[in-house]
Structure 1
Amino acid sequence: MDIHRAFAQVAILDDGKVVSEQRLDLVQDKVLAFARSLRSDDEVVLEATGNTAAIERLLRPFVSRVVIANPRMVRAIAYARVKTDKIDAITLARLQASGFLPEVWAADEDTVRRRRQATERMGLLDETVRLKSRIHAILHANLIPKYKGELFGPTGQRWLATASLPDHERLILNRLVDELQRTTEQLAVLDRELASLALADERAVRLMTIPGVGPIVATMVLSAIGDISRFETPQKLASYFGLTPKIRQSGEGPARHGRISKQGNACVRKMLVEAAWSAQSAPGPLRAFFARISGKRGAAAAIVATARKLTVLIWHVLAKGQEYAFARPAFQAMKLRKVALKAGASREYGKAGPGRDYWVKEIRHREMEYVKRAEDAYARMVEVWRQVPPEGRKKIC
């Protein structure tokens, strides 16, 4: 099926020969009628587009398998000299029949729901940034000095209401402020839903033992990964997020490593980089790793490398079903309590909660000293490793 916005071109092959061709309108009742006409041992091939998930969900119960093709890698279609919908549909079927079709994973219902929520949150976040930028632009265009505090907090909002602006600019500013308030409220509601979803998922709770990973990052990572068994190694997961370098090698020449590929989910990659900034400020091996790379290549390269290291940790936590080895129990309990409050849990005044230990100075410092020793151990290991000649390093490995 060659999928478009409103229709799909269908080619049916039997024993390598085209036995039927038709054009199918992409509305639910017609897709279901088409699905009922198929045999239970049929295989259906679709290209990955915006409406592929809905079509796959409708067809799945009626056939043996629904295969989703990777459109970037179907070179027989992308570079064909004669390209029509009929030819594309036939090409997809023949590639699948011959076993040469590059396919992508079909997400389950829970993962699709998570991805929808993650996409909606990124849209609201982008809209919030856009509105704030427009408000700053209005103030700058009217020579109003920059507010020294938090412009979009309660005090900043009162200052903004008294700013000296022409009447027409004031109307635009008021409209932008109202839109920003509505968007912020919608974002808070969605964050509350994502926090509840993270607390109910033991995988997300384990991910939150990693420094820098909160409920939003954990939920977005899980929405992108789906089933961790799809990735045999942590390197493949890092490649899936576009955090591995490009490699060029041909003939007898040496391999050349370039910048990261940036293939895959850009939103999750951005969230992992933000999580890395948070992780490098907390005591532990990740901070030592960031400091080592930053000393050689600068902070920008070091934070990307730390995001990749976070991805490796995420793979191990999910694949092995274990918590992060250097998690701080009191800090983790406090973090989960904050997530629960964000999810709508009631505050219990006068009663010691599960995160109480974090606010006991001796316990907090004891945990920080523990992870600080792990950080120092990593730094000493790296220093010893540097003193070993290259040929000796191979023997140690």
Structure 2
Amino acid sequence: MRIIGMDIHRVAAEIVALHDGQLTKLGRVPMLREDLEAFARKVLTHDDHVVVEATGNAATVVAILAPFVERVVVANPKQVRLIAHAKIKTDAIDAAVLAKLYATGFLPEVWTPDQRTLALRRQVARRTQFVRQRVRLKNLIQSILHAHLIPPCPHGNLVGISGRRWLARQPLPEDEKFAVERHLTQIDQIEASLKFVDADIANYALADPLIRRLMTLPGVDVTVASGVAAAIGDIGRFSDPQKLVAYLGLNPSVRQSGEGPAYHGRITKQGRGQARGMLVEAAWAAARSPGPLRAFHRRIAARRGKHIAAVATARKLAMIIWHMLTKTTDYIWARPALMARKLRSMELRAGAKPSPAARGSAYDYNIPAKRAAERERVEAAEGAYLSLTESWRQKGRAKPVEKPA
């Protein structure tokens, strides 16, 4: 068995082979589909194991080489650099390091998702890029208004119908007015693209029961559920909830040496940053919804502040998600009417035609009595959680020391 190490770059890949302890340079191959396929047919065999680092084009390289070899392994580049840091660095040396680490069993591998999960990851990342571009353009408009001492917009949405009418009435120089119009045109183009991406994500979610299960959590809509599901992939690769928390970078950093105490610091922020950010946003929403998660957030916020409490709630959400997906069960404190409303919103986003005359299960959320009954149930669970944690605090209090008379 040969181990083929590939150091991938944007233009070309340096390739070496490790066989019976001997390294052989196989040269450079252009990073083009035709050249990679030609190299695989000519040089690789079905007994070879290929090792590459995780890069932007690694998934395509894996798809091209997989039919020609026994296995293609994707390595974690951050951990490889920590293990194999060297003063002398070339592409051939990097490729040899990958092959040697794999041969000795020290290669930190990265899980390779299937094509459907990869497609969902790309769409979620694309949506995040569109949202950031829209925020940037809104900030440019705000900077123009600030530069000319224009008061804040009285309307909630600066680029909505009312906000645009308000913008048109502001006393701005002609060049600034044209700049605002250009920014608004770009925002309209981004909104159109964003609508298409949202529809694609919603169609994917409609066919995925895992995403619908995640949507039973408070603060988790189709966008957050899709992003988290795309990041997790196969829940079976996490043997316990702590591993999922670490994968999302929500676990605290720890420093301990010798017999000294362990010091816990900020979260590690390793792994899937996009899913971590989505869970933090969901935590803020869950902190405003009745239920045990709101009580948890308030309990942490009273001691550590709201921002730390939001991160702690996101970590709690990750642990709940592991149990939900492992045990294939929905969130126990889900509100049926609210869940029906989420599903109907997802269907409309996917392209379903609205039917105002038909009142389905999503309409129950508009009935005050039903909505109040569901809130009463989760508020009772919130009260039970508060009673439980209060008993924890009472048990943890030290007994006063009696002074001798």
Q: TM-score, normalised by structure 1?
A: 0.95
Q: Assess, with a 3 A threshold, how the Cα gap between structure 1 residues 142 and 286 changes in structure 2: closer, same or farther.
A: same
1:131 and 2:134 are equivalent in the alignment:
no
Tell me the CA shift for residue 279 of structure 1: 0.8
Aligned length: 391
2:50 to 32, 44, 48: 44
RMSD over aligned CA atoms reads 1.5
Matches within 5 A, 1:215-226: 215-226=222-233
2:13 to 1, 5, 8: 8
Tell me the equivalent position of 1:236: 243
Tell me the equivalent position of 2:100: 94
Deviation string, structure 1 residues 114-157 (Cα, Å, up to 9, x no partner): 11111111110110010000000011111212111122211111
Q: Is the 8 A contact 2:25 2:92 kept in 1?
A: no
Tell me the CA shift for residue 357 of structure 1: 2.3
Matches within 5 A, 1:10-159: 10-36=15-41, 37-75=43-81, 79-150=85-156, 151-159=158-166
In structure 1, how many angstroms separate the alpha carbons of the residues matched to 2:238 and 2:367?
41
Tell me the equivalent position of 1:163: 170
Gaps of 5+ in 2: 1-5, 399-405
In structure 1, how many angstroms separate the alpha carbons of the residues matched to 2:173 and 2:248?
47
Tell me the CA shift for residue 21 of structure 1: 2.4
Q: Is the 8 A contact 2:30 2:36 kept in 1?
A: yes
Tell me the CA shift for residue 41 of structure 1: 1.5
- What letter is aligned with 2:150? I
Tell me the equivalent position of 1:291: 298
- What letter is aligned with 1:34? F
SS at match of 1:39: coil
1:305 and 2:317 are equivalent in the alignment:
no
In structure 2, how many angstroms separate the alpha carbons of the residues matched to 1:138 and 1:45?
51
Tell me the CA shift for residue 77 of structure 1: 7.0
Tell me the equivalent position of 2:286: 279
- What letter is aligned with 2:268? S
| Runs of at least 4 residues off by over 3 Å | 75-78
Q: TM-score, normalised by structure 2?
A: 0.93
Deviation string, structure 1 residues 6-46 (Cα, Å, up to 9, x no partner): 11111112112124421111110110112223111210000
1:378 and 2:379 are equivalent in the alignment:
no
In structure 2, how many angstroms separate the alpha carbons of the residues matched to 1:387 and 1:139?
54
Task: Report % sequence identity.
Answer: 50
In structure 1, how many angstroms separate the alpha carbons of the residues matched to 2:102 and 2:376?
57
Q: Is the 8 A contact 2:84 2:97 kept in 1?
A: no
SS at match of 1:194: helix
In structure 2, how many angstroms separate the alpha carbons of the residues matched to 1:97 and 1:115?
31
In structure 2, how many angstroms separate the alpha carbons of the residues matched to 1:203 and 1:209?
10
Deviates more, 1:380-389 or 1:301-310: 380-389
Deviates more, 1:90-99 or 1:286-295: 90-99
Tell me the equivalent position of 2:403: none
Tell me the CA shift for residue 389 of structure 1: 4.3
In structure 2, how many angstroms separate the alpha carbons of the residues matched to 1:89 and 1:130?
40
